[in-house]
Structure 1
Amino acid sequence: MKTIITYGTFDLFHYGHVRLLARLKQLGDKLIVCVSTDEFNAQKGKAAFFSYQQRAEILAACRYVDLVLSETHWGQKVTDIEKYSVDIFAIGDDWRGHFDHLQHLCEVIYLPRTDEISTTEIKNDLAFLPPFPDASND
């Protein structure tokens, strides 16, 4: 059995996330997704719209995902790879080169992002939308 692991925040779950998870699942038999906790995101200077629990619940419902774990610190990757006998560490190519140090533990793959979609773009687009009319005034 070939095990794949990936990491991310997975906020505002969208079709780019689905396509990434589908490609990851095609690489092997078991897909483990480690979701950054709210506390870890704060350490990275990031904030998610959905809480860790909500993001983990969304991922657990995805048919490509076999196991969801929390990511609490950068150094966790080595421990996870060893503990879960991971064959492939895969992540978006925006991280290219950042995890080459894991190559002695497993294969490291950087996958291209889905064009035309990103959580950051969604957040930026939403910030410029006019507010919805107040339905209570009808």
Structure 2
Amino acid sequence: MEDKSRRKFLQNAGLATIASISPLAAEPEKVKELFIHHVYFYLKDPHNAQDEAKLLEGLNKLAKVPTIQYVHIGKPAETNRSVIVRDYSYSWMCFFKNIIEEEIYQTHPIHLEFIKEYSHLWEKVVVYDSVGPKKVG
């Protein structure tokens, strides 16, 4: 079996498995909602260039999880307004077709390895998840 077709088969098998055991299977409208996962990482030593580089390395590896549609890795922008939070080290935002694909991401070996290999670098993470229609307007 070709690598791409094998990967697609495994991805579809994972979706089918999760859909069959997930309470979301009873809520088909949830499968149609775009899912955005936004994580803010706070490094233990925010001024350590090696730790920053190591976390960036890990985030780039994490971006290879196949259910991710789009990834943005960022650092605080140089903006100054009272509502802007700039105390984090890195921002990780990724888009999924739906919540089921995000659930696959949460248990994917690449994600689990990322946590195992890089979690010693951060003192905390803050996560914002949101859902909404795929198209606005």
Q: TM-score range by the shorter chain?
A: under 0.3
TM-score by length of 1: 0.27
What TM-score, normalized by structure 2, do the two folds share? 0.27
The structure where helix makes up a greater share of residues is 2
- Choose between structure 1 and 2 for higher RCO, CA contacts under 8 A separated by at least 6 residues: 2
